[in-house]
Chain A
Amino acid sequence: DAGVTQSPTHLIKTRGQHVTLRCSPISGHKSVSWYQQVLGQGPQFIFQYYEKEERGRGNFPDRFSARQFPNYSSELNVNALLLGDSALYLCASSDRAFSGNTIYFGEGSWLTVV
């Protein structure tokens, strides 16, 4: 069975550009969450979507946005990139709105902003 898939795996962007990261959850999972992990830190919650509705938002600026599609895949968009946005972006998939014991992370998208 396919796990959580994310794309792209690595990318380099220039300050001021925008980026779109994509995530496909495990088949049958309806909840997708996004986390940002800066080097040396634990992951920080950005968004949660369940059944295509936003269920939670972390303390991130409005430059960060996301959406979930009818097939439960999700996109994370970041506008006006800053150097500090360089991080590993993790997508987490779950079959319920909350179910910590069944949250699975994808391999992540490594974003470098130069």
Chain B
Amino acid sequence: QKEVEQNSGPLSVPEGAIASLNCTYSDRGSQSFFWYRQYSGKSPELIMFIYSNGDKEDGRFTAQLNKASQYVSLLIRDSQPSDSATYLCAVGQSRLYFGRGTQLTVWP
């Protein structure tokens, strides 16, 4: 069974701060990694994907991948109250394995 673990929340940060979300995975052969954002009562929305070791930046979001450590993270810079949501880490090829999610609250 392939497992995806996310750091336990909830995570609370002030507006303008950096939010750091972490994820580890069990399958060393994993090739594709994704971060989804899920607002309460809504479906998951893809915000980042990363395939190669290193950093990938998209606006205020940076995904970091370290395959040797089987670790992937998401940094949100200049956090906004609208970033308050549950963030899901997913790993997979033809099917995705999700973590339980980390609930982020950004307070003004």
- A→B interface (CB under 8 Å): 33, 35, 40-45, 48, 55-56, 58, 88, 90, 97-98, 100-101, 103-108
Interface of A, secondary structure class, is mixed
User: Which chain B positions have C-beta within 8 A of A97?
Assistant: 94
Cβ–Cβ contact B49 & A107, under 8 A: no
Q: Does B60 contact A (CB under 8 A)?
A: no
Cβ–Cβ contact A48 & B95, under 8 A: yes
- B→A interface (CB under 8 Å): 4, 32, 34, 42-46, 49, 88, 90, 92-101
B29 vs chain A, min Cβ distance (A): 14
User: Which chain A positions have C-beta within 8 A of B93?
Assistant: 98, 100
Cβ–Cβ contact B94 & A48, under 8 A: yes
Cβ–Cβ contact A107 & B98, under 8 A: no
User: Which chain B positions have C-beta within 8 A of A106?
Assistant: 43
Nearest B residue to A3 by beta-carbon distance? Answer: B43
User: Which chain B positions have C-beta within 8 A of A107?
Assistant: 42-43
Distance between Cα atoms of A62 and B95 in the complex (Å): 19
